[in-house]
A and B are shown apart, each in its own frame.
Chain A
Amino acid sequence: MNSRVYVVATGAICALLVGCGGGSDASSSSPPPPPPPPATITRAEAFRFLNQASFGATDEAAQQVISQGYEPWIDAQLALPASLELPAVDAAYAAMAPPVNNFAPLQGDRVAAWFENSVRGNDQLRQRVAFALSEIMVVSEVSLKQLPWAVADYYDTLARDAFGSYRQLIEDVTLHPAMGVYLSMLGNHKPDAALNIRPDENYARELMQLFSIGLVQLNLDGSTTLDGQGQPIPTYDQATVEGFAHVYTGWNWAGGASFRQARPSIANQSLPMQAYAVQHDTGQKLVLGYPGAALQTIPAGQTPVEDLADALDNIANHPNVAPFVSLRLIQRLVTSNPSAAYVARVATVFNDDGTGQRGNLGAVVKAILLDSEARTTPAADTDGKLKEPLLRLTQLWRAYNVSSGSGKLVVPQLSDVLGQKPLQAPSVFNFFSPFYGPPGEITDQGLVAPEMQIATEYQNTQVTNYLFATAFCYIPKPLAVCPARQANSPILDTAAETAVMANSGQLVDKIADRLLAGRISPALRTEAVRQVDLIPTNLPELRVAEALFLISSSPEFARQP
């Protein structure tokens, strides 16, 4: 704990200085320089890295990281093209018997593609970052049931843009019809004073609050800037929201004969929205004011495209963006409670990747993963995070080389079982809030644990029961009492466990090796061995299942170190 306090303290100083990036904790008291990175990466270190940078560590991936080193591994990942969901939706649609009047079932194919890409895709880092972005810039199937191409292409857009520029990302997000429908910019039109109609404020508000700058001014290290009275300083007010609401007028589905006649088709669900100038407000518009802002109002008389470019430049250049986006990405990938210095180091890279480029997301992701706080052995009791249920499941599946009869991976009633499903949050505020902390020591210390918001008694029991079903039934030889399997039931390959099952200690250690990088607590190991020892060796699957259930449902597997 002492070393942690020290890091935070020097971090605060560091944040006030220029050029403190790169992991050094230099301060006026000149502490010794940090030790050089170890020459070799241990298996446990590779596992930790891969649980941050992928959908779950595997032995194969760990070997790659160990032989290549972190940075070359990242560089190789940055260069891989995105695995996509849209082709799976197209293929599933092609296999449907016409006429098709209900497109909602194709959402299931979209989710199956998500599992395919997340569990088996080579572009693991890109997919993991896309998933993180999908929980920051949220659209939800809940409002988009009949638009599966739009939802799939939205996720593909996040995957394609994951390592590009932030400015490009918010433009692609803003103009995506999935977002257009979800936050009602699509169809938003110019005011009509006679009818008391003014532009829709939905997208204007949430782009600022949730996707870019947040409600209050931030320091580079992510902490809240306070005024002379110790109060937070709002980043915008209602008049600003209204200004942007006017910017986002005149956009609708691409290819319409007119604004009023624009309609969704299969093709235009994956095309950016189109501007229809006739419904665009051409007045002057208030935007964000901040030191260095290129403009505080957008001039009258511009086209929709010109207005949008000015507005997105205005947002993307706001000083909040670097700490706001950096903190959220760190929380999604590495830890719920990064030190201020860690946020500041990443935000510094966001502001300038070293070549003068701002918002280089590939460089930001690299800075997050290579930071000393992500790479040195966790020591503080706040290091790491809780794994959300989807990530627990993908890690388990990847560790056990999951397969199915049909090749497709499907969990029936996924959102009931896990309390989440890709792109199916209950609202634009995601499944959980970045500010959430459960009652007790976490809240008392001013810390957060966002994923705990969906770890309720109810949901945890559901997840635990699914892990139970997995351990006992979704294995090569399911127990006799198990329900019949479906062609797309995900099956774990537990052959290596079965091979050593006669020795309970070896069996438990084998599972711990795969799921916990070998770092199993004495208590968990004792309980798992005890349970296995209750079962005779002529019931090999049951011995494996008992140990796999107890370890996969344990608090230590629920945590990402």
Chain B
Amino acid sequence: MSNFDRRRFLRAAAAGGFIYAFGHVPNTVMAQMAGSYAPFNDYRALVCVFLFGGNDSWNMVVPRSDAEYAVYAASRQSLALDQTTLLPISPLTPDGAQYGFHPAMSGVQQLFETNRCAVIANAGPLIAPTTKAQYAAKSVPLPPQLFSHNDQQDQWHTLKGNAQSKTGWAGRMADVLSATTSGQQLPLNVSLSGQTIFQAGEQSVPYTMGPEGPVEFFGFAGDALADARRQGFENVVNASYDTVYERAYASVQHRALQVSDSVNAALAMAPTLSTTFPATNLGTQLRTVARTIAVRDRLQMNRQVFFVAAGGFDTHNDQVADQPGLLGGISDAMAAFHAATVELGISQSVTAFTQSDFGRTLTSNGDGTDHAWGGVQLVVGDAVRGRQFYGSYPLLEIGGAVDVGGGRLIPELSSDQYAATLARWFGVADTDLETIAPSLGNFATRDLGFLI
């Protein structure tokens, strides 16, 4: 009496194994959104690499020239990197100072030097351009709860400023593009690292898979009894329920079931990548993203946003010991991912970008740093106008022109500008950019120019 495939059963029973697959998710509510978009005849993907905890990016891209380094070293004291270990870079448009990457970031340094990586010098949540005097006088609106993890993550995810928001900017992109992406067999938004508001839309619903892809329901295929079991399960999931909790839970099960239908088919067809990814969680996630991109045609995908993430960046202590692993981890994984897109011949159409809760204080608490505001973000891909800094890299001076206290630097560029630049490249029309980035109109530059 073998009512199911024993090998697959053992895998699922061990509950650690993963079976790759993709499936069909009908575009049910594709929608009333103003649809002045012509069908896309190309493919583009955005990959958000979220660094949970607040990356101390003032140690990621660091001034190397003597005068600027001296200011940095005086501010950071025991947290300062050795000047001679910084990996030098040569921006096409120098600002008079010299810079280098953290010594663990040779992968990203190479991408920068070969024009495939851009440095966004000092970005963060803002509602309007803000000077130190305006901050002190509270004469411009400020994002609420600066320096709080979840609130500032939400700012990056939603760009909500002072308003309430139940959607994220990737979710709103999916809404805006719903008519022209309605043939896609997966939701536009896919997460490999849990669900965040970043990908929640008014109409569009993201799909969450594991770091190695989706898992298959066990015992739902293989013979008549399994088919009947699956049908019974599906009938239960599709029944009507009296409470919001059962309905929400059942709707997730419903989506999971539908995707698991044809799940194996697409990813099983993915070519074997010769690119080696680091054996880290982030490396695994990005490898799965690359495999998913590889089967884009099979899934009829034109536009995709992937959310991947790494944690551990809340370096209140042991920063000197931990940063090489953290920053090296980003660099190695993003470099491998870029190499995989080159291998797949899709590197012009895939852009990876970082976001993080906030930058960190220039001052130290002894062996680490605390929550701050502006910081450096990286954009990687062959559509990037690389080997450039966007925005001006600030002088890392405690009490300096943009320090609101303790070395918490006011961003020069807003996360709205950053998102809008990415959204425009993705295919969002200029007239829809305020839907994506509501405060964009408060800033002079609508497109930071880091994408072709």
Which of A's residues lie within 8 Å of B, judged by CB? 183-184, 187-189, 195-202, 205, 209, 215, 231-232, 234, 238, 241-242, 245, 336, 381-386, 412-413, 416-417, 426-427, 429, 433, 437-445, 447, 449, 452-462, 464-466, 468-469, 472-473, 479-483, 521, 523-524, 527-528, 530-531, 534-535, 539, 542, 546, 549-550, 553-556, 558-559
Contacts and interface: CB of A to CB of B under 8 A. Distances in A.
15 contacts: A196-B398, A196-B407, A412-B16, A417-B15, A438-B195, A441-B244, A452-B248, A457-B255, A457-B259, A458-B209, A460-B252, A465-B12, A482-B9, A555-B249, A559-B246
A205 B311 CA distance: 19
B12 A555 contact: no
A310 B250 CA distance: 49
Interface in B311-333: 311, 314, 316-317
7 A-B pairs closest in CB distance: A456-B208, A200-B365, A523-B239, A457-B256, A527-B232, A555-B246, A469-B13
B370 A200 contact: yes
Interface string B393-424: 00000100000011100000000000000000
Given A184-B368, A443-B166, A527-B236, A559 B256 contact: no
Given A195-B77, A550-B233, A386 B239 contact: no
A13 to B, nearest CB: 25
Given A433-B150, A457-B256, A524 B245 contact: no
B148 A209 contact: yes
Contacts of A472: 219
B362 interface: yes
Contacts of B151: 215
Given A453-B195, A558-B246, A559-B246, A198 B406 contact: yes
A188 B209 contact: no
B136 interface: no
A429 B236 contact: no
A197 B216 contact: no
B252 A336 contact: no
B356 to A, nearest CB: 14
Interface in B343-365: 362-365
Contact of B14 (A201, A412, A459, A549): A412
Contact of B366 (A200, A447, A524, A542): A200
A383 B244 CA distance: 9
Nearest to B232: A527
Given A187-B366, A429-B150, A200 B405 contact: no
A480 B1 contact: yes
Given A215-B151, A531-B228, A195 B364 contact: yes
Nearest to A526: B235
A462 B316 contact: no
Interface of B: 1-4, 6, 9-10, 12-16, 52-53, 74-78, 144-151, 162, 166-167, 171, 191, 194-195, 200-201, 205, 207-210, 214-219, 225, 228-229, 232-233, 235-237, 239, 241-253, 255-256, 259-260, 311, 314, 316-317, 362-368, 370-371, 398, 405-407
A483 B216 contact: no
A531 B209 CA distance: 29
Contacts of A461: 214-217, 256, 260
Contacts of A559: 243, 245-246, 249
A22 B384 CA distance: 64
A184 B316 contact: yes
B366 A427 contact: no
Contacts of B216: 461
A381 B10 CA distance: 39
Given A384-B243, A441-B247, A460-B256, A550 B236 contact: yes
Contacts of A534: 225, 228
A521 B236 CA distance: 10
Nearest to B398: A196
B209 to A, nearest CB: 5
A555 B15 contact: no
A201 B365 contact: yes
B244 A447 contact: yes
A426 B311 CA distance: 8
A558 B236 CA distance: 13
A535 B225 contact: yes
Contacts of B233: 527, 550, 553
Given A196-B76, A442-B248, A456-B208, 12 more contacts: A197-B365, A198-B365, A202-B316, A205-B148, A215-B148, A427-B52, A439-B166, A439-B200, A457-B259, A458-B256, A468-B219, A531-B228
